[in-house]
Structure 1
């Protein structure tokens, strides 16, 4: 049945129901007085106008555009509003048309219309649901598996409703929640059976086949405890993604997935000021460098969601750029996307791109980030991380870019590697330019991101799939971790807060031991560390530290308006010396290849707290 036919049928049905409501009102109002027949005869002439006004009100409130099989409280509110508006119109009309119909009857008919019109929609929903249930029972012979939902809040209720409304082989039989006020209550007809401490007993008593964790905002420790309990009970485990992954507020069966290491390391969800962010991104020309990388591609995804007038996707690797652009075109059909394959070290090309687009906002994510590789090729680290950053930043200054945000790293703090030291120099370059430019230059510093191409997580996954061993450099090695989406959200928020010259530092939570991360990943794979998968220590690699820092002792930090973003206090820098030393390396680069010894010498001269393992040998 097409939309026109469906609407015509609904219009006719509503015409009948509206008149039925008025007839019932007249019968009840005048039954005892014996005047009901008299008023019914008089209403016949008034009926087309009265019912017509009600139908027009229903149409204006789009009652005929709704799928009533999924009606909820919102639809009932719409019905009440439409009936009230239509009744007001009929009441006003009664003043202009000579009719013996009492106006009190018009007002009384309001309640009957809500009951009858609303009831008809609810009855249709019940009918559709009943038919669906019968069809499932007839066509689905296999007995459904019992599911237990951990978390009796909004997310848990959304999961339960999804399982009830769709045939996915699971039937929710209970909730588990630590809130004692909910114990013994029911949600959507499903009982809350107790707290998480009763999980093993409930799983055994109810013969639970699958546990679904629906607590998107709890700390990772609670998720870890829940996972451990469920693993020992030998049940399948699924989890609802974090809040930042459920932007549209909808849950489907496909939203549920197996527990991942990101869930176990979770913290409080990131909250951003959407109005503040939209204020500097919406309707603007935004450029992302390094757009094919883990951080750059996520920046593109999230920036696209704020409806910029143009998004310039700039990167050096054609395959990764192609992948993110295809994804953006599929999800944002109306967004203007420009693709630029370019190396940030190519100053002439970068200048021409900026002259062409004159971006208002630039997120500079292009960088060399692999610590051991940059130890072997320090000249490449300087060319990309320092000179590349300067090329992009100076081009932004020349065309009058409003905001320039550089993505930095915790390895820039008391650096022990060439990668970290060159990122620190890039921070200094950006701060130096901010003093001379109308562009607002800022840097955002954070630690490792889970799932990025350089993260230990993909490496551990590959090693576990091969049967081990899993290699950890040192038993005391610690790192800060953050998921890619939450890191990018905070980067964008920091850009909205920037006043110029700051180094923002993201709250990374507590550092995690790499060996604990390895054990968690082995356990999540259904294996036992040390028994099924061996863990070996490979030794600390050149340039690595046992733990990373987010701030130097001299910097300290100041709070900002956002509870997860801090700003490092500025440290004194000899910018004249910075220019001289960088010029020295630039001349070498122009003449051919930068000597590694000269790179280390410049890094030592410009960064007093550079703690490289070769420092003493070089200085001596």
Structure 2
């Protein structure tokens, strides 16, 4: 039906309703026997009301609304239109009629028109809703966790005609006053502990967590209960979406491993960060890597005078450069293709740009690969760090922050040992330099290239099996943005010589992580996707540590950043060992390289690490 035809039809129906309401009101007022003088008044009142009610209904937009989406707003519009029409009709009756209009008639007219005009509109909504419910047999049955404002908005959209693939069955809410109540006609079925039972009884296929304002810890607990059901989980990302009006079914995303960690967002100390990054020349080495690129994104928010993107791989540097140019079009970006092992090139970079702040993220990080290539680990992680740190010292850099690893603690691997040696060199240099040298040590980050989560996701996508090294292997995890935020904050409070240790939360079993990823992907572990055990690889521990026995952990002004002050070799001792390493590298003697590494940082045997 065209818009004009629809308008004419509705307008004629409303005029019939107005005339019917007036006539029945007079009949009731006079008990079915209307006097002649009031019959004339009734006809006059019908003619006047046709104009007043018709004009009022049109003015309040009742012919421009789509009634299958009718809600409170439509009820209010109907009420306003009828009251205004009634008032205007009564005023004209006082001016035009010989006899005063009975108030009883006016009251009944308002009641009848309100009932019939509203009823015809909402009858259409009910008819459409019934038709839609009749086609729900093949739709996914969904449950919303959270019967608050956000849950209501999601439910309203899901009940619309445009959202056809999911049927909303009920809400879950911990508020006992909401239990067995209904929102938009959808019942609140129970609290979070009832989720497994309700999913089974109601044959639920999808759970939507719509609680953007609650803590991450609470969200993690709810996900922990919901994942027991083995069905698809989705979530509204953040409270900001509710504030900015972006809550929508389209904003839903799959629950991720990051949600399971339950870590609260970091409160940034903007003043301290601005003090050492804003309007400064900042260099990020390894800028194309997972940590380095996130460092660039977050540093860019504080508008440095110049941001130097240094990396060895041209594609990764190009990608982060294009991303930042789009996000920060006014930022002065300088992409630099260089290898930190090239001392002359590093000197040229520092001489040309004079960076005031250096975040050193470039490193070889893969434990098994470095076990087979110890010389490359030394060249990059030790001598590469020495090159960058020496340049920072020589050219007067204010702050130098090195990204380290929990694998540097009681290392069982070449990679861990080289990171510990790099820490020692940075600390020794701090004793004789104006530059504030520090290191930040943390564990695994979720989603970094080559880390366990992307590998598991790929294996799941391929149908399995998912390969875990050992059923008891444990690791610390945090998200990349969280780790980088803490790195930047640690740089703000560095006085020089510290090894900052980030609070990594509770350690996570790799096996549990694999099971969770399979479940969150909509599969059942050991049934749909198998998990196999490959054995601990060379250089790996069953668990990681963040501090050595001799390190004393001190607190800082930030809850998640601690200070360890490990003992270090003197600069002269390190210089002697470095000369021995250089000689061994020249001779390509891998055995000697390992021996020297072990002398500088005694490496624990893997077996010992596994049972200690």
Same fold (TM over 0.5): yes
Aligned to 2:377: 381
Task: Report the count of equivalent residues.
Answer: 475
- Say yes or no: does 1:611 pair with 2:604: yes
- Say yes or no: does 1:319 pair with 2:309: no
Aligned to 2:339: 343
Aligned to 2:41: none
Secondary structure of the equivalent of 2:253? Answer: coil
User: What do the CA deviations read for 1:293-347 (whole angstroms, capped 9, x no partner)?
Assistant: 1111111111112222221111111111111111112221111111001111011
Secondary structure of the equivalent of 2:539? Answer: coil
Contact 2:584 2:593 in 1 (8 A): no
User: What do the CA deviations read for 1:193-246 (whole angstroms, capped 9, x no partner)?
Assistant: 542123356557888664222345333751442332543xx5x42123367999
Distance 1:464 1:202, change over 3 A: closer
How far did residue 513 of structure 1 move? Answer: 1.4
* Partners of 2:468 and 2:592 in 1: CA distance: 33
Structure 1: stretches of 5+ with no match in the other structure: 1-129, 616-620
* Partners of 1:595 and 1:248 in 2: CA distance: 61
Aligned to 2:409: 413
Select which of 352, 360, 375 maps to 2:348: 352
Q: Which has the larger radius of gyration?
A: 2
Contact 1:284 1:310 in 2 (8 A): yes
Aligned to 1:428: 424
Select which of 471, 486, 507 maps to 1:511: 507
Distance 1:248 1:503, change over 3 A: farther
Aligned to 1:448: 444
Q: How does 1:419-498 map to 2 (within 5 A)?
A: 419-498=415-494
* Partners of 1:277 and 1:341 in 2: CA distance: 27
Secondary structure of the equivalent of 1:408? Answer: strand
Secondary structure of the equivalent of 2:216? Answer: coil
Contact 1:243 1:269 in 2 (8 A): no
- Say yes or no: does 1:227 pair with 2:226: yes
* Partners of 1:427 and 1:583 in 2: CA distance: 18
User: What do the CA deviations read for 1:64-105 (whole angstroms, capped 9, x no partner)?
Assistant: xxxxxxxxxxxxxxxxxxxxxxxxxxxxxxxxxxxxxxxxxx
* Partners of 2:182 and 2:249 in 1: CA distance: 22
* Partners of 1:398 and 1:245 in 2: CA distance: 48
Aligned to 2:88: none
Distance 1:421 1:257, change over 3 A: same
* Partners of 1:562 and 1:313 in 2: CA distance: 28
C-alpha RMSD over aligned residues: 3.4
Secondary structure of the equivalent of 2:524? Answer: coil
Aligned to 1:525: 521
- Say yes or no: does 1:329 pair with 2:328: no
Select which of 574, 578, 591 maps to 1:597: 591
Secondary structure of the equivalent of 2:546? Answer: coil
Aligned to 1:369: 365
- Say yes or no: does 1:539 pair with 2:535: yes
How far did residue 597 of structure 1 move? Answer: 2.3
Secondary structure of the equivalent of 2:319? Answer: helix
* Partners of 2:194 and 2:528 in 1: CA distance: 29
How far did residue 422 of structure 1 move? Answer: 0.2
Aligned to 2:582: 586
Secondary structure of the equivalent of 1:433? Answer: helix
Distance 1:230 1:401, change over 3 A: same
Calculate the TM-score normalised by the size of structure 1: 0.69
* Partners of 1:296 and 1:166 in 2: CA distance: 46
Distance 1:186 1:366, change over 3 A: farther
* Partners of 1:230 and 1:328 in 2: CA distance: 41
Aligned to 1:400: 396
